[in-house]
Structure 1
């Protein structure tokens, strides 16, 4: 698979994780929906400016576009988590992170009890 196809597949994965149609992504990125389809198929040689618009629409770090892992349940779950918190304020993200730490600590403690 070449780079345009890999980037296109990753954009499709992120779009689907956000629950968006190609039209919704196109609108959020100020692009035409048929262009998004071409990008996702790897048919378009996407410019950095266009890629920047798509990244901004997703509200994810740029590195997320280049995470070319096999699609797994874990990756989908992480993408969904990113999507859920992407529109939240910094304060809300900090609160969610604190709660997540507490939940993980409780899970870890529960696991320790099960191994005794």
Structure 2
């Protein structure tokens, strides 16, 4: 699969994880919604400046646009994307707190599975 198609699919997945329409992403990135549609389909050869606008609008690390999975588990990837979009905009202290809470949850789950 070509890079524009892969990047377009990641943008679509991250946009959907935020619960946004193409119009909402376009507005946040100061682009036209039909342009976002073309990017998501891989029809557009976008510039780095445009890519930066989309990254900033989605509020994700740039590397997230290049994280490609084999799509064997789309539900899992969608859930991970949703978690990423929820925590990315948080302050460092909040992320540390979320991490501690998650560790406690994982420890409890591990203990429960070891008891079974």
What are the Cα deviations for residues 60-97 of structure 1, in whole angstroms up to 9, with x where unaligned?
A: 11111112211522111101111222232222111111
Query: In the alignment, what sits opposite 1:56?
Result: 56
Cα distance in structure 1, aligned partners of 2:74 and 2:21 = 21
Query: In the alignment, what sits opposite 1:21?
Result: 21
Say if 2:104 is the partner of 1:102. Answer: yes
Query: In the alignment, what sits opposite 1:77?
Result: 79
Cα distance in structure 1, aligned partners of 2:89 and 2:64 = 16
**Matched pairs, number:** 114
Cα distance in structure 2, aligned partners of 1:86 and 1:67 = 16
Q: TM-score, normalised by structure 2?
A: 0.91
Q: Give me the CA root mean square deviation.
A: 1.2
Q: TM-score, normalised by structure 1?
A: 0.91
Aligned-pair CA distance for 1:113:
1.4
Query: In the alignment, what sits opposite 2:88?
Result: 86
Task: Spell out structure 1 runs of 4+ moving beyond 4 A.
Answer: none
